[in-house]
Amino acid sequence: MTEQLPIVIILGPLLAAVLAAFAGWFRPKLSHPFVLLGLAVSFAAALKLVFIVADGGAQKYWLGGWGDKVIPSQKEPFVVGIQITVDHLNTLLLAAVSGIALLTAIYAKRLVDTELAGRQRYFDALFALLVAGLLGISITGDIFNLYVFMEIAALSSYALIAYGKGRSYMASFNYLIMGTMGACLYLLGIGFIFIKGGTLNIDDLSRIIPTLQANGPSQALFVGFVLIILGAWAKMAFFPFHGWLPNAYTYAPTASASVLAPLATKVAVYAMLRIMLTVYSIDYINGLTGIQPIALYLSTAAIVMGSFFSLTQTNLKMIACYFIISEVGYMVGGAWLANKPGLTGAMYHLVADAAMTSALFMAIGCIVYRLGQAQLDDLKGVFFKMPVTMAAFVVTMAALIGVPPTCGFFSKWYLIQGAAQAGVWHFVAALLLSSLVKAIILFRIIEIGYNRVPHPAIEGNPAIPRNEAPLSMLIPTAAMALGLVALGLGTSTLVNTIIAKALPAALAP
């Protein structure tokens, strides 16, 4: 049955969502277990596939059995149906997305019950649909199918954000406009590729695009490429399309933010990588001498801007949102360095950052659950109230800063190495700057949360009662934080067995 595993990854959350939607009307208590089950199945399949792919290479799956068919007028066979592919480029991401989604689903239960009391009928279903959409974007081998999955993820995230009431409606609306613009640009880009390539299958496109370019560069393919990249940038909140993200994720309910923030942007980055590396090729990217520097400058700008604004914010969620914006800059920059360490860094950071952001939002969620809000000034004494949460928070921040041996250190390592190899020093400077800014913020929080209150252990000082988040939230948070260290220690294995093989063959030493 292992050949059916790729589709199981998608079907798990998809069917779970439908069942959860039924259960919402009959036995509301059942909808959450359905979703957990679906995500667990999906995670198990994804995990199994990691090993299968590491051993046996890419796994292709043809929906409806419509695979390679010989077409009389063409020399080579084409895939006439829709293909989904699990290969070295996406297998880690699939495991990360489904794993993080599973943990977040366990974690979010309590939050949903309190924050959204009485309104959560479709929350679980939308949650599972979002995950199905994200997994679909990551797994599909068909550029149009990717668009449909993109819309599935987008529509469910609009709804998940709008659960936040108040300002979240406008935030969600802005996201909808930007997101639809991104999706439309992407769709238009598909049109431009389709008009030259005549197929939508990614593998087939990667085979024929070089032949189309044989007689000189094709303007249509170039325009299509630019449109798709712009569309992906809008989706991932890359500078200068980042405007929607901070409000959307800040005013969303914590439960929604904790699944959206780590996964949505990462998956969009993956889509960009897939288009850049598989549909087009590394040589094509390196041939775009006009665009490459622009993309790199924009990445630097994203990192600098994200860092700067995170310093000026006083709300913990807002700070975290600006972190996301600068982290997106890391990955786009790494991808556009288009050399071996840069791409390795971008691919590794894809997984590492998903885990880091997830841990960060989980920790923030625990704080919000107990303290009601996350203004910096409210954090006084939080280290005594919630020691475990804050320990996880500190580990996560250390990872974001890039303290070894957490995973953040290694992604930064590869990215800086790539930038140094390409001689893009402004990118190096931006990476270091963002590390420093995060360090400043971490220690500002430590000062407020730990040092600004009279130490309760000293006689005469008021005691600060322990008020830790419930275990169902605490355990996923702690697990995620430990995962960051584990991921860091496993870097070499991941890079050697999987990421190195995802790199384009042209970069092999």
Partner 1 sequence: MVLFALISLSIQNLMGAAIVFGAYSFMMCLIWAGMGAVDVAFTEAAVGAGVSTVFIVSTIYNTSATMRSRPGGMAFKFFIGVVVTLAGAFLLSALTDFPDWGDPNSPVNATVVPYYIENSIDDTHVPNLVTSVLADYRGFDTLLETTVVFIACIAIYSILRIETAKSKTDETEEGITSPPSYNPSDSLIVRQASRFMIPFMQLFALYVIAHGHYSPGGGFQGGVILGASLILLAISFDLKFLLRHWREKSLMLLVASGVFLYAAVGLACVFMGGNYLEYGILDSILPGDQAMARSHGILLVEIGVGITVMFSMVAIHINLASNGRFDRGL
Partner 2 sequence: MVDSTAGSDTMENLIANFNYVIVVILMMIGLWAMLAQKNLIKKCIGMAIFQTGIILFFISIGAKNEAKVPILSKFVVENSSAIIVNDYANPLTQILMLTAIVVGVATLGVGLALAQKVYQQHSTFHEDEILENQRK
Partner 3 sequence: MEIIHSFTPVWIILTSSVAALLVALLGRWPNVRETCIFAAAAIKLGLLLSLAPAVLDGKLYEFEVMELLPNVGLAFKVDALGLLFALVSVSLWIPTTFFSMGLLRPLKQHAQTRFFFFFAIAISSAVGVAFSANLLTLFIFYEALSLSTYPLVTHNQDDDAIKGGRKYLTYLLGTSIALALPAMIIVYQQTGNLDFTNGGVFASGTSTTLLVVLLVMFLFGFAKAGLMPFHAWLPGAMVAPAPVSALLHAVAVVKVGVFSIIRVLTGIFGVDLLANTPSLSTIVCVLAGITLIVASLIALTQDNIKSRLAYSTIGQLSYIILGVGLATKSGVTGAALHIPMHAFGKITLFLCAGAIYQACGAKYISEIHGLGRKFPLTMAAFFIGSLCVIGLPPTGGFVSKWYLLTGSLDSAQQWAFAIFLTSSLLNAAYFLPIVYKAFFAAPTDTARLDKAKEPPPLTIVPLFITSASCVLLFFFSGKLFQFANTFAEMHTAQ
Residues that bind partner 1 (CB under 8 A): 4, 7, 11, 14-15, 18-19, 21-22, 25, 61-66, 69, 71-74, 78-82, 118-119, 121-123, 125-126, 129, 132, 136, 144-145, 148-149, 151-152, 155-156, 158-159, 162-163, 165, 169, 188, 192, 194-199, 218-224, 226-227
Provide CB contacts within 8 A for 430, sequence distance 6+. Answer: 299, 300, 303, 304, 307, 329, 333
Q: Minimum distance from CB of 439 to partner 3 (Å)?
A: 5
Taking CB within 5 to 8 Å according to partner kind, which of partner 3, partner 1, partner 2, none is near residue 296? Answer: none
CA 118 to each of CA 35, 105, 122, 166, 402: distance values in angstroms, whole numbers, following the listed order: 19, 18, 11, 17, 41
Provide CB contacts within 8 A for 74, sequence distance 6+. Answer: none
Question: Is the link from the previous residue into 404 a cis peptide, with omega within 30 of 0?
Answer: no
Q: Minimum distance from CB of 153 to partner 2 (Å)?
A: 12
Helices within 121-218 (DSSP H only): 123-139, 143-162, 168-197, 202-212
Q: Minimum distance from CB of 450 to partner 3 (Å)?
A: 8
**Residue of 348, 346, 312, 308 lying closest to 326 (CA atoms):** 308
The angle at the Cα of 388, spanning 384 to 390, to the nearest 5 degrees, equals 70
Give me the 451-490 binding string for partner 3, x by CB under 8 A, dash otherwise.
x---x-xxx----------------------------xx-
Taking CB within 5 to 8 Å according to partner kind, which of partner 2, partner 1, partner 3, none is near residue 197? Answer: partner 1
With binding defined as CB under 8 A, does residue 421 bind partner 3? yes
**For partner 3, the closer CB: 208 or 376:** 376
Task: Find out whether 480 and 348 touch, Cβ atoms under 8 Å.
Answer: no
Q: Minimum distance from CB of 460 to partner 1 (Å)?
A: 48
Task: Find out whether 320 and 449 touch, Cβ atoms under 8 Å.
Answer: no
With binding defined as CB under 8 A, does residue 40 bind partner 3? no
Site for partner 3 in 362-401 (CB under 8 A): 398, 401
**For partner 3, the closer CB: 197 or 342:** 342
Task: Find out whether 447 and 376 touch, Cβ atoms under 8 Å.
Answer: no
- The residues pairing with 83 across neighbouring beta strands, listed in sequence order, are 62
Other residues' Cβ atoms within 10 Å of the Cβ of residue 69: 11
**For partner 3, the closer CB: 222 or 413:** 413
Taking CB within 5 to 8 Å according to partner kind, which of partner 1, partner 2, partner 3, none is near residue 371? Answer: none
**CA distance linking residue 155 with residue 126, whole number of Å:** 9
**For partner 1, the closer CB: 192 or 383:** 192
Cα dihedral 126/248/480/444 (nearest 10):
-160
**For partner 1, the closer CB: 162 or 495:** 162
Taking CB within 5 to 8 Å according to partner kind, which of partner 1, partner 3, partner 2, none is near residue 384? Answer: none
Q: Minimum distance from CB of 290 to partner 1 (Å)?
A: 13
Provide the binding-site residues for partner 3, judged by CB under 8 A: 341, 398, 401-405, 410, 412-413, 416-417, 420-421, 428, 432, 435-436, 439-440, 443, 447, 451, 455, 457-459, 488-489, 491-493, 495-496
